[in-house]
Structure 1
Amino acid sequence: MNIDEKILKRLESDSAEIDRILATENNGLGSLLKAGLKGAMRPWFILVNVLVLVNFVALIYLAYQFFTQPVDAQIFWGVLALFSFQFHIAAKSWLYNEMNRSSLTREIKRLEVAITELRKSSVTVD
C-alpha cells in the first residue's frame, strides 16, 4: 500500500465520520436560539428578544391607530409605525447575526478540537 492509498483511505474514513455527525445534528431555528442563549451575550440576547416582543405589540397598536384615525392624524401614527417597523427589522437582524456568530464560534471550536485530536493521533508515515 503506497502513501496515496493510505491518504485516500484516511480521507474516506474521515468523510464518513463527518457525514454521520452532520446527519445527527439538528440545525433548526430552535437550536440556533439555544446557541444564542449560551454565549457571552446572553443578557443582551434576552433583552433584545423582550424588546422585539414589546415592539411587535406596539407595532400592532400603531398600525391599528393608523387605520382607525382620521386622515389628518394618520401621518403621525404612520410615521410612528414606520419607526417601530424599522426598529423591529434592526433588532431581528441583530438577533440573527448573533445566532450566526454563536453557531460559527461553536463550529470553529469543534474544528480546533478535531485538529488537536488529529495531532495527538497522527500516524507517522515512512
Structure 2
Amino acid sequence: MKITVETVVAAPIEQVWAAWTNPEDIKQWNAASDDWHTTAAAVDLREGGTFSSRMEAKDGSMGFDFAGTYTRIVEHQLIESRFGERTLRVEFLDRNGEVTVRESFDAETTHSEEQQRQGWQAILDRFAKHVEAKQIR
C-alpha cells in the first residue's frame, strides 16, 4: 500500500530543493515532534548515491537510522529512492512562487497506516516551516 502526504512551501524552488538535500538543513527539520531530533544526516545526491539520517528521542530513550539509495533524480522536480524493500517518491511541484512537496511511500507493517501518515505529515510540515523561516531572515 502507498501512503501520500504533501505540503505547500511558500518559497522559491531553489530554496526548497536546497533545504531538502542539505544535511545541515535536514538536521534542523527532520523530526515528527519537538521531543525528537536528527543528530546526523548524509546526502550523496546522485542516482546510485546514498542518504542517511539518525533520528533520536531527545531524552535518549530510543533512536533509529533511516537510510537508502537514490534511484532517480530530476533536479528541482523529483527524487526517487529505495530504503530496504520500500520505495519513496518525492515530487516538487513549482507553482507561482510556491512549491508543493508530495511524498508517496510504501507503508510498513509495524505501525498503522494512520500513524505513518501522521508521522510523515508532521515531518513534512516541519520542513515547510523551516524553509519559510529561512525566507524571513
Please give the TM-score of this superposition, normalised by the length of structure 1. 0.33
Higher helix share: 1
Higher strand share: 2
Higher alpha-carbon Rg:
1
